[in-house]
């Protein structure tokens, strides 16, 4: 009897892990994540713009050195003071960040849908408790992974709606499962 319980929990854990690996690797196979190099190609030789106009011309952002005095000191061991520096990836990095946020939103939607499907499937397989529990926990884990992925980009209202929905669903599941 004890060995049977261990085997059931091993099956539950296996379903939870493999289900989520399957979902996530399927997404990765079908829907490619944006790559930074696609938006900001790296050159073998980079020439850093040394003026605001040259920086803006390449899509960068000029950051002025507010401490620049305009006077250079004639000392052999020191380099001249910088008037500022250029963040040459400024524009392309914003484009990459926008694409990444959209990707994470879409993956969030896919993971939530897959989690809900797994939860619904677990009710239809209630006659096999280990499989049902594995699908239920796997679905919940998929919902958690999707939410964590998109949490930083999520609107505050959506966060509250998701947390409230999850709380209601968990209470409903708990009451339903305890009655049975």
What pTM was estimated for this model as a whole?
0.73
pLDDT at 3: 77
89: tokens are 């990836």
Provide the residue-wise pLDDT of the chain in tens; the chain has 180 residues.
677 888 899 999 999 999 999 999 999 999 999 999 999 888 877 777 777 888 888 888 888 776 555 555 555 555 555 577 888 888 889 999 999 999 999 999 999 999 989 988 988 888 888 999 999 899 989 999 998 988 888 889 988 988 888 788 778 767 766 665
Whether the Cβ atoms of residue 138 and residue 16 lie closer than 8 Å to each other? yes
Integer Rg of the chain from CA: 26
Q: What are residue 63's DSSP bridge partners? A: 85
pLDDT at 73: 53
Instruction: Burial-class residue 40 by CB neighbours within 10 Å (0-12, 13-18, 19+).
Output: middle
Instruction: Burial-class residue 142 by CB neighbours within 10 Å (0-12, 13-18, 19+).
Output: buried
pLDDT at 23: 96
């Amino acid at each position: 009897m004890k060995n049977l319980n261990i085997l059931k929990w091993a099956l539950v854990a296996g379903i939870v892990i493999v289900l989520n690996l399957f979902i996530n690797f399927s997404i990765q196979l079908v829907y490619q994540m944006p790559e930074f190099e696609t938006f900001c190609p790296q050159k073998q030789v980079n020439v850093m713009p040394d003026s605001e106009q040259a920086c803006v011309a390449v899509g960068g952002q000029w950051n002025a050195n507010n401490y620049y005095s305009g006077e250079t000191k004639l000392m052999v061991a020191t380099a001249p003071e910088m008037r500022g520096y250029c963040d040459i990836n400024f524009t392309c990095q914003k484009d990459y960040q926008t694409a990444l946020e959209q990707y994470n939103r879409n993956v969030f939607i896919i993971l939530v849908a897959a989690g809900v499907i797994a939860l619904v499937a677990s009710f239809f397989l209630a006659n096999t408790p280990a499989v049902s529990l594995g699908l239920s926990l796997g679905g919940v884990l998929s919902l958690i992974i999707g939410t964590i992925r998109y949490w930083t980009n999520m609107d505050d209202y959506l966060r509250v709606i998701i947390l409230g929905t999850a709380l209601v669903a968990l209470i409903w599941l708990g009451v339903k499962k305890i009655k049975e």
